[in-house]
A and B are shown apart, each in its own frame.
Chain A
Amino acid sequence: MTFPFLAAIVAQAEHATQAAGEASHQTVDIIGHVSNGEHPLFELPLLLGINFSITKHVFMLWVVAAANFIIVTAIVRKSIARRQLVPAGAGNVLEVAVEFVRDTVVEPNVGAKWVNSYTPLLLTLFVFILGANAIGLIPIFDVLALIDHAFIHSGEHSFLQRLIHGSATATGNFNVTAGLATITFVAIITAGSRAHGFVQHWKNLVPHGMPWPLYILLIPLELIGMLVRPFALTMRLAANMTGGHIALLAIMSFVFVFTTMLGQLGGIGIGLAFSVPLGVGISALEIIVVLVQAYVFTLLSAVFIGMAIHAHH
């Protein structure tokens, strides 16, 4: 995924070479490297008891949103200016993405009648999640950290340090994915209400024409099921993104474990023979995971919206 821990690794390498030989029980805070940075970029006062400080993940959300907005708008404006239906250049890529989401994700689940109503929402989710996942694979901040470590030497609490620390994958944060899943949750209720009317949507949750004692069991079950779907969406996306980070971090940690155990040569040997090849493999796997998780989130949202529309009860 990303290598936000590269700076920490460089710092630890120096530390480890100093400490090699003595049995140092220095623990490494793994979660600190794969989560939000420890210090927010901008401190904001509490509002209604909620912390609105701009953290690394909030910043990355803005970066992704801006990048998506600028790139997609530029491509679409260019296509419109050409006044031809056949796309050219980057328009091809956009058309492939749009047609893929519309024809293979939304249409089979939502149905031909509603496909144009929900394609924009699901396409936005797809592109945004894909962008947020993929930007974590690009080691922008790790290169920055290396430059800082080698040349700039910014202070402990400088803005650059706060920008470098923490992970760059906003979708690896459970709060972000919970927000995205809330959009899906609202979309499910809206879709059911638009197709059947607000009251009928809630009646559709349980099958009618059953003996009444069954409803005592069914209604709570269906209500729990309604809440579990966005919860599962939240967990799936964030856990997959964080999982890649943790796996990479654990594999890369072997270098330092073996440096303290066997000295510098042992650490370099393990790094070359084991950590780097495996890390490359996992990074390659992460490219697939990034694509698949964006697809899965979109697909499941489409399936749930389709279930609310085609309630056969």
Chain B
Amino acid sequence: MQEQASQAASLALAYAGAGLGLGLAVVGAGLGIGKLAQGVAEGVARQPSASGQISAATNLPLFLLEGVAILAEVFCLMIVLK
């Protein structure tokens, strides 16, 4: 009985950890994308003619950032499903 309860508690902790991790990943990715968007907006506001080049240069770091966030989310999902 006690063993069952402790098992349930550890399962609950695992779910809580997955939820917390998901939240943290989203916070980090949100901050990163926010900074990126800020930089792009300022750059385009100062130099509207370079908007094409600016957005082209933004694409790569944006996708690398997205990749890290997605990885974190996949691992959180794996915790939940295991």
User: Are B70 and A239 touching (Cβ within 8 A)?
Assistant: yes
Option from B59, B64, B70 in Cβ contact (under 8 Å) with A235 = B70
Residue of A nearest to B59 (CB): A299
State whether the Cβ of A190 lies closer than 8 Å to any Cβ in chain B: no
Q: How far is the CB of A66 from chain B (nearest CB, A)?
A: 30
State whether the Cβ of B36 lies closer than 8 Å to any Cβ in chain A: no
User: Are B70 and A296 touching (Cβ within 8 A)?
Assistant: no
User: Are B74 and A239 touching (Cβ within 8 A)?
Assistant: yes
User: Are A299 and B70 touching (Cβ within 8 A)?
Assistant: no
Give the complex CA separation of A104 and B53 in angstroms: 11
- CB-CB under 8 A from B66, the residues of chain A are 236, 296
Secondary structure at the B interface, as helix, strand, loop or mixed, is helix
User: Are B74 and A235 touching (Cβ within 8 A)?
Assistant: yes
Q: How far is the CB of A208 from chain B (nearest CB, A)?
A: 26
User: Are B71 and A243 touching (Cβ within 8 A)?
Assistant: no
- CB-CB under 8 A from A300, the residues of chain B are 60, 63-64
Chain B, residues 54-68, CB within 8 Å of chain A (1/0): the string is: 001001100110111
Number of A interface residues at 8 Å Cβ cutoff, please give it: 14
User: Are B73 and A299 touching (Cβ within 8 A)?
Assistant: no
- CB-CB under 8 A from A235, the residues of chain B are 67, 70-71, 74
User: Are B71 and A232 touching (Cβ within 8 A)?
Assistant: yes
Residue of B nearest to A238 (CB): B74
Q: How far is the CB of A160 from chain B (nearest CB, A)?
A: 29
State whether the Cβ of A31 lies closer than 8 Å to any Cβ in chain B: yes
Give the complex CA separation of A243 and B81 in angstroms: 14
User: Are A31 and B81 touching (Cβ within 8 A)?
Assistant: yes
Residue of A nearest to B66 (CB): A236
Q: How far is the CB of A180 from chain B (nearest CB, A)?
A: 15
- CB-CB under 8 A from B64, the residues of chain A are 232, 300
- CB-CB under 8 A from B67, the residues of chain A are 232-233, 235-236
Within 8 A of B (CB), among A227-275: 232-233, 235-236, 239-240, 243
Chain A, residues 81-117, CB within 8 Å of chain B (1/0): the string is: 0000000000000000000000010001000000000
Chain A, residues 275-299, CB within 8 Å of chain B (1/0): the string is: 0000000000000000000001001
State whether the Cβ of A303 lies closer than 8 Å to any Cβ in chain B: yes
Given contacts A236-B66, A239-B70, A239-B74, are A299 and B81 in contact (CB under 8 A)? no
Q: List 7 interface pairs A-B (beta carbons < 8 Å), by A numbering.
A: A108-B56, A232-B71, A233-B67, A236-B66, A243-B73, A300-B64, A303-B60
